[in-house]
Structure 1
């Protein structure tokens, strides 16, 4: 029987699946683990199920010495909060939960596109503060979505799911940039640079993984190439966007608006963004449905159970 730590509360079925075969401890706090907690977790448990915010960086691994932990079964597809090379250097394997998050995250991208284009956040706030005097022909005029051009940066599972929804659901033209050649199976043009995509897009969505390779991938150079009527959407990782450059682009009117589900220094959100009516702000809701979080948890649990029973990894990273 292995000793397993789950670093956040999870749906009951996930914990039940693990406790059927192993000794499971569930951390009750919802905030990320402290450095001392992470160091202790690697010394005291055979497997840890961490998630976003649990920053298992190189310093944490350096401080452990000889770890007891053999596997970090990450709850989530993104694993940029884990220094995988440092983990492997101590013989600790890492897995994630690909596939489970695709549709929910794509749905949030569409939510942000529609909310920002149609000024839904502004309208909702207007009604809540009793500021609505009734319908008039020029009230809260937003942008039409159907038939516009979608630009996608990163045509992986999630990027493709977003583009598919926009193409088939809203008759949008699709252009995209991807590191490798991609044929998504529906009309979409691959362009050589992010700036080329930005220059054509009415809605520019970034859907790349986090990590050092994509940090500040979207910066003032990209916003400078974007059309002034365009709306920018980020559902990937906050550090993919240089937030100061985004604020500057919005302030100067280089882009018309933004829809954000993630932030460079979350949970901190700049006051400048919070003060802008043309910006839609969500609290990292990308995978926030019970069905999806359960599926993610069960996938992470399956990685743990298979590893402890057979020594094999289902979703290694």
Structure 2
């Protein structure tokens, strides 16, 4: 048995939940009637916290864990974790980078194609028997179109490489240029939006990118432009996006993330040029298993030698 006490904030798969319990001293916090009340009484006992990008770890939670030494999180997003508070206290944080890059990049390209060619709407057209009355309207070509990427990190680069297979010119916007990249850098986000046929968001969430994609960016992308978001819902000013789509001043949107998940604006449900997914970027059996394995490997490495394999 591990001598390290672990608090598990929120459930993942039942497989992971059970594997985490094996040979370890774990308290499943979601099973407590009053989570903060429980931690107020017992929080000093815990040295490691296991969480996910969904559940995070708030400053209030950290305050109840005075002896916490590490946070092991499932996912690459860390905007729901009070990172600065943790760093000030010397608490190490790990995420699960790289193992989900392929699936998220695949999904981004899938949304590009699905939204431009209106595949879900065309599928409904057939299922509802409307093909008998006439042909489906013409849609938009993908190959050769210009792809702008906001956030050329690990996932952004994998999206760019996939776009090359569609003969798409690629440019990107970061806080600064990436010297290792040969793709065109655009320091001005509005300029990138004006240039792009598709604008793909692959940047982190959090305060620094909150509503980065606002009405001005959507206007620059224009009535022929398509927005793809596989990052975080908070990156987009959602009311401005809905307004632009309803007014026809934006050509379309493929969205895997939303500001108040799982709540999605109902105004988008009937639009054929909008594809809506339930935050499934990494949602394949293979990738989720690899993510679980990496959380457990980080946890065990910390228990064994006090170091994380993939620190933030």
Structures share fold, TM-score greater than 0.5: yes
> Paired residue for 2:6?
4
Aligned residue-pair number: 307
Report how far residue 250 of structure 1 moved.
1.1
CA distance in 2, matches of 1:312, 1:123: 51
TM-score, L = length of structure 2: 0.89
Structure 2 unaligned regions, length at least 5: none
Matched residue, 1:159: 156
- The equivalent of 2:199 in structure 1 is 204
Structure 1 residue 265: Cα displacement: 1.1
Q: How much does 1:179 deviate?
A: 1.6
Q: Equivalents in 2 of 1:251, 1:10: separation in Å?
A: 38
Corresponding position of 1:36: 36
CA contact (8 A) 1:39 1:61 kept: no
Q: How far does residue 132 in structure 1 lie from its aligned partner after superposition?
A: 2.9
Question: 2:176·2:187 contact (CA, 8 Å) conserved in 1?
Answer: no
How far off is 1:61 after superposition? 2.8
CA distance in 1, matches of 2:173, 2:34: 37
Once the two structures are superposed, the pairs formed by residues 66-215 of structure 1 within 5 Å of their partners are: 66-133=65-132, 136=135, 139-167=136-164, 169-183=165-179, 188-215=183-210
TM-score of the pair, normalised by structure 1: 0.88
Please report how far the alpha carbon of residue 11 of structure 1 lies from its aligned counterpart in structure 2 after TM superposition.
Answer: 6.6
Post-superposition CA distance 1:204-228 (Å, at most 9, x none): 1011011111111110111121132
Alpha-carbon distance between aligned partners in 1 of 2:37 and 2:214, rounded to the nearest angstrom:
35
Gaps of 5+ in 1: none
The separation in 2 between residues aligned to 1:60 and 1:25, in whole angstroms, is 14
Which of 221, 224, 233 aligns to 1:229? It is 224
1-side partners of 2:7 and 2:90: how far apart? 18
Root-mean-square deviation over aligned CA pairs: 2.5
Q: Deviations over 1:137-168 (max 9, x none)?
A: xx23110001111111111111111111011x
Residue 270 of structure 1, CA deviation:
0.9
Change over 3 Å in CA distance of 1:23–1:35 after alignment to 2: closer
**Larger CA deviation: 81-90 vs 188-197:** 81-90
Distance 2:62 2:97 in 1: 25
Give the Cα separation in 2 of the matches to 1:35 and 1:254.
Answer: 46
2: CA distance, partners of 1:50 / 1:5: 9
1:241-297: per-residue Cα shift (whole Å, max 9, x none)? Answer: 110111111122221100000001111111112232211000001000111111111
Taking the aligned partners of 2:30 and 2:35, their CA distance within structure 1 comes to 17
Q: Note the alpha carbon deviations across 1:35-63, whole angstroms, 9 max, x for none.
A: 6389569555432221133142223334x
2:44 counterpart of 1:48: no
Quick one: distance in 2 between partners of 1:132 and 1:28? 49
Q: Which moved more, 1:143-152 or 1:44-53?
A: 44-53
The CA deviation at 1:67 is 3.0
Q: Could you tell me how far apart the structure 2 residues matched to 1:224 and 1:34 are?
A: 46
| 1:4 aligned counterpart, secondary structure | strand
